[in-house]
Amino acid sequence: MRIESAIGRQISRLREARQMSLTQLGQAMGTYLGKPWSRQAVHQAERGRRAFTAAEMAALALALDTSVPALFLADAADIELPGAVVSAEDYQGILLYAGDEAPRDGIDELLVALRDIRRILSRPALARLAKIERVAEGVVGAEQADDEPAWLSAALLSDIIERRHKAGSSPLLVSKI
């Protein structure tokens, strides 16, 4: 795989994970480059059809709220440079900074993944699911206090949700949250 294609795939993946349109990413790029990228320019970059300057790589990392090394991450495939093909293992090795104060063993990649996880967990839909879980636990807990088996409470809750869904109405718990 050409290095531009590997970077393009990462740009696409990160943009989609952040729920940005091509136009939104292009406008965000303009914040750092002084001139926005067109929708077509972003599309070309994601398809691996353009080379990147150092300023563009920095702007992409800032616009996508990630690190520059994260933009270079690639699938487990050899990477084609203009003069040679580099094994996937050697390619991954160059992404880790080896200075005295550098993180070891892929800490940069772990930090990028944790940042992505934090963004996913902060989505409103997941917050609603967490509220639903807390309400359901409260129902189960209240009924357990009445010496009713927990599996029966969970089954009742599931049955109520199923019946309301089939009837075309919102589940009882969701409508109260």
CA 51 to chain centre: 24
pLDDT tens digits, residue range 140-171?
666 555 555 544 455 565 666 666 566 665 44
Tokens for 83? 């003069």
**Tokens at residue 136, please?**
């359901």
How many CA atoms does the CB half-sphere of 171 hold within 13 Å?
A: 15
Q: How many residues does the chain have?
A: 177
Q: In this model, does residue 28 exceed pLDDT 80?
A: yes
Quote the pLDDT of residue 89.
78
**What pTM does this model have?**
0.54
For residue 17, the one-letter residue type is A
Query: How high does pLDDT run on average in the chain?
Result: 77
Question: Which tokens hold the place of 71?
Answer: 């933009």
* Segment 67-113, tens digit of pLDDT: 888 888 877 788 888 898 988 877 777 776 555 555 555 666 677 77
Burial-class residue 69 by CB neighbours within 10 Å (0-12, 13-18, 19+).
middle
Sign of CA dihedral 166, 170, 176, 177: positive
Residue type, 79: I
**Comparing C-alpha atoms, which of 31, 99, 16, 107 is closest to residue 69?**
107
